[in-house]
């Protein structure tokens, strides 16, 4: 559930907890919301957890370009982004990078136009029902946006 901090962030929901005394690195991020004909969600399973396809934005990159690039690398997806549907802030700790992050998340609906070989062999694409996706996704903000779009 989003915290009361959403009142301080212009109504953008906030997930996770900002720990006092910890330095947080801001990381603009974008994630693709992709569903198949059966209404299942594309989810990427990694050694670090389960996530919507996407990740950190590169300098000067739009949310749409980020999801196109990240989904191609992670899943081999060729996407046609439709538009931004939600934003959220997610506080997380990366055990891999040993850093705290304030992820500024943009969620973009996209259509799957084709596939190719993914570039990241430790990323596995799974198609999950809305309930399975909500139970599996590691970040609360990802569970929230799936819930928002499947009501």
Structure confidence by residue, pLDDT tens digits, 84-101: 999 999 999 998 899 999
| Confidence at residue 7, expressed as pLDDT on a 0 to 100 scale | 45
In the structure encoding, which two tokens stand for residue 126, read together?
């799974």
Q: Is residue 22 part of a domain?
A: no
pLDDT-based confidence at residue 9 (cuts at 50, 70, 90): low
Q: Name the average pLDDT for the chain.
A: 93
Query: Which structural domain range is residue 48 located in?
Result: 29-149
What would the pLDDT profile of 25-75 be if each residue is shown by its tens digit? 999 999 999 999 999 999 999 999 999 999 999 999 999 999 999 999 999
Number of domains comprising the chain: 1
| Per-residue pLDDT at 80 exceeds 70 | yes
Residue 120 lies inside a defined structural domain of this protein: yes
Is 6 within a domain?
no
- We report the CATH number of the domain holding residue 102 as 3.90.79.10
Percent of the chain with pLDDT over 70: 94
55 in any annotated domain: yes
In-domain check, residue 92: yes
Residue 23 lies in a domain: no
Please report which confidence band the pLDDT of residue 3 belongs to, taking 50, 70 and 90 as the band edges: very low
* Residue 2 in domain: no
Confirm whether 1 is domain-assigned.
no
């Amino acid at each position: 559930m989003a915290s009361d901090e959403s009142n301080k962030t212009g109504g953008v929901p906030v997930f996770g907890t900002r720990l006092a005394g910890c330095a947080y690195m801001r990381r603009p991020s974008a994630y693709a919301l992709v569903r198949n004909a059966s209404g299942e969600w594309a989810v990427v399973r990694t050694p670090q957890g389960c996530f919507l396809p996407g990740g950190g934005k590169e300098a000067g990159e739009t949310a749409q370009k980020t999801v196109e690039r990240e989904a191609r690398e992670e899943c081999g997806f060729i996407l046609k982004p439709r538009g931004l549907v939600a934003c959220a802030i997610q506080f997380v700790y990366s055990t891999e990078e040993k850093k705290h992050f304030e992820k500024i998340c943009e969620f973009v609906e996209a259509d799957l136009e084709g596939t190719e070989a993914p570039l990241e062999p430790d990323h596995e694409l799974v198609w999950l029902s809305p309930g399975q996706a909500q139970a599996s996704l590691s970040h609360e903000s990802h569970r929230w946006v799936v819930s928002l779009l499947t009501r």
